[in-house]
Structures are given as C-alpha cells and as structure tokens.
Amino acid sequence: MEKGLKRSCVMVVVAFFAMVHVSVSVPFIILHEIGTQCSDATNANFTQLLTNLSGSPGFCLEIGNGISDSWLMPLTRQAEIACDNVKQMQDLSQGYNIVGRAQGNLVARGLIEFCDDGPPVYNYILGWSSCWHRRFSSSGGICDITNGDVYRDYVQDNLAPSGYFKNPYNVTEYLKGCKYLPKLNNERPADQRNQTYKDRFTSLHNLVLVLFQNDTVIVPKESSWFGFYPDGDKEHVLPVDQTKLYIEDWIGLKALVLAGKVQFVNVPGDHLIIADEDLVKHVVPLLQDQESAAPRLNRKTKEPLHP
C-alpha cells in the first residue's frame, strides 16, 4: 500500500514536471528606440502589453543610462552592453526572443551577430537594416552635421545614429568611416566577411520585418525590409532581393528567406505606430511560440545539441 502511494506520488511529480516543461514560455526582451528609456510610459506599456497578450515574460532591456546614452553611446558599445546584460539575466539563459523598436533594432542585430557565448535568440521581430534618418538632419541639435562630417571619428564615437547613416552618394567614405553598419551588414569584400556573424543571424527560427507604410523617420522606409538605394542614387529604391546584401547573402538573410523563416509585414501608419490587432496578428504568435524552447542549443555555435 505504501509502495502504491509512493508510486502515485512519483507519478504526480513526473506529471507536474511534464506540465511545467510544456508550459514554459520563452521570454522576450524589448530594445527601445533612440531618445527614450525603459521607464518611459510608452516602453513600459509596450512591454506590458506584449506580456499581457502573449503570456510570456517580457523585459525592456536598458542600455547605460537610457535616454542620453541612446543618443551618445556608439552602437558598438551599446551592443556589447546588451550582450553583457543578457548573459547576466538568468531568465534568458535558455534562449529568448527580441522585439526591437527602431534604433533598438541596430542594437538587436549587434546582439544577435556579435555576442560571444550569449544565450540563443529564437525569434526576432521588427527589422531595420540601414538608414537614412531624415530627422537626423532636420531636427534639433545635430543639423550641422553634414554628410562629410558624419563619418569623422569624433562623430562616430559620440553620436549613436552616425553608426548607421549610409550616404548612398559616397559609399566609399561610408565604408571607410562608418564604424557600425558596415560591420553589422558584413559589407566587406567577400574574403573579409565574418562567417560567424552570418551563422548566428541564420540560426534565427523566425524573423519578422515590419514596414510602416507611412514611415516618415526611416528613409527609405523600405530599409525596414532591407531594401536600399543603389549606390549614387537617391531616387530609386532597390527591393531587398535586388540588393547585394541579399544576392551575395552577406548576413544570411537570403538563407532565412529560402528556409521560409522570414515574414515581410506591412502595416499602415507612421513610424512605430502599430495597432493592437497587428501586434496580435504578427508579433504575439512568435512570442507564444513554445516549441522553440525545446531544442537545447550549443551556446557557442547556436547549433542544436545532438545526443
């Protein structure tokens, strides 16, 4: 009798652990846009809203002191700090998803590509490859920076957006002076591209690229889908599959597309204005994706572990 009781206890325990296992939600982090911080109502609400809608734990990941560092700290450093932070967060140790907001996506991609020994990233939502930031030259404080100055060391080291400003009229100068985006995009001669960055990006389970149809901040707005101007031309925009980044597959975007892992999503409205219905349709399902917690990955290679 006692034995029977013991066995049923064991069974209860097993059932309990089985339940715990299947109900494990993959946590997600939010990386916020420039000029904001996690404690702002918008970011706090967005994190809470996605947690409410998905049932998965969400964390807004702060970098440095928030608002001023989002402007002044070079993105290389921001991505390093993000990497250190996620490695210290116990909740993320089995892997996590990322939702990026505008500049936060440049940090996110640095986190995915550059972070050594970090936990795996499964799903990454909201892409933004490169940028011609219209407000960059037309709004307060930094309008004096001409295209020529933007690639100077002093600017590169002290103004975050300079790290992802690509001047299509002077790509040579951009490749030479810009310290972040060319590295992030593996925008290098073929023999100098870093295969590790590509492998890490390609290891994503899902990538969702959200384009805001009336985006007035990201120029061209198609760069949300990795489209961009051809060199020397600001009149036309090459769709993603006509860019060299895609054709030569610098970072593995093409591999992901061919594997059916990329969703190109189009929503009405201006920059970062996304209706709850669109969040529910395009974002929430990937935050609820519990399957993705199952495979245990090698922390270094991000490859599934084989028994």
CA 61 – CA 31 distance, rounded (Å): 6
Helix axes 195-202, 103-114, angle to 10 degrees: 110
If residue 206 lies in a helix (H) or strand (E), which one and from where to where?
Answer: strand 206-212
Tokens of 292: 């993705």
Residue 298 sits in the site that holds ligand NAG (CB under 6 A): no
Measuring CA to CA, how many Å separate 143 from each of 3, 137, 184, 274, 287? 79, 5, 26, 29, 39
The residue from 45, 68, 158, 298 that contacts ligand NAG (CB under 6 A) is 45
158 Cβ contact partners less than 8 Å away, ≥ 6 residues apart: 72, 74
The residue from 8, 42, 68, 266 that contacts ligand NAG (CB under 6 A) is 42
Binders of ligand NAG among 198-237, rule CB under 6 A?
214
Give whichever of 49 and 272 is closer to ligand NAG, judged by the CB atom: 49
Contact segment (CB under 6 A) with ligand NAG among 3-11, 37-45, 68-76, 285-293 equals 37-45
Strand residues in 95-158 grouped as ranges (E) = 96-100, 121-125, 132-133
Contact segment (CB under 6 A) with ligand NAG among 20-28, 44-52, 120-128, 251-259 equals 44-52
Binders of ligand NAG among 186-205, rule CB under 6 A?
194, 196
Number of residues that bind ligand NAG (CB under 6 A): 18
Contact residues for ligand NAG, defined by CB under 6 A: 41-42, 45, 48-49, 52, 114, 116, 148, 169-170, 172-173, 194, 196, 214, 268-269
